[in-house]
Amino acid sequence: MIGKSVVKKLSAAFVVAGCAFVAVVALGATVFYALALVLPPLGAAAATAGLFALIAIVVAIVFLGAAGGRREEEPVEPEGLGARAYALFRERPILGTVAALAGGFVILRNPALVTMLVAAFTEKPFGRRGRY
């Protein structure tokens, strides 16, 4: 059943996130108490906070790709109605599902639209003529 696998995966993700949180808090406490041996408590707290802020900034730069200044390629506009529908479902699945349900409702109300939709989806691009 699909629901059980989703629940198992969500449970595993929450357990991993909880363990990661506990590990980070324990690491922070360890760093604080290690620095408290050589610094006053206020200085140890400031140094620990600064260290974790620096780690957060480095991780954000590495994972978000801001350090390289890379630009994403502009998406190519799909040709034809079928390719556009596929791109819509791929990029925005919820919006695509709503559009499909609305289209299904309209088709149920007027079956003559089925022929128009089939013709639109099987339409060939204008640049190619004849058989190869």
pLDDT digits (tens, 9 = 90+) for 17-58: 888 888 888 988 998 999 999 999 898 899 888 888 888 888
pTM above 0.75, yes or no: no
Rounded mean pLDDT, 2-26: 84
Give the pLDDT score at 11: 86
Contact, 107 vs 114, CB < 8 A? Answer: yes
Rounded mean pLDDT, 71-94: 71
Give the pLDDT score at 37: 92
Token pair of 107, please?
A: 């088709």
Contact, 106 vs 113, CB < 8 A? Answer: yes
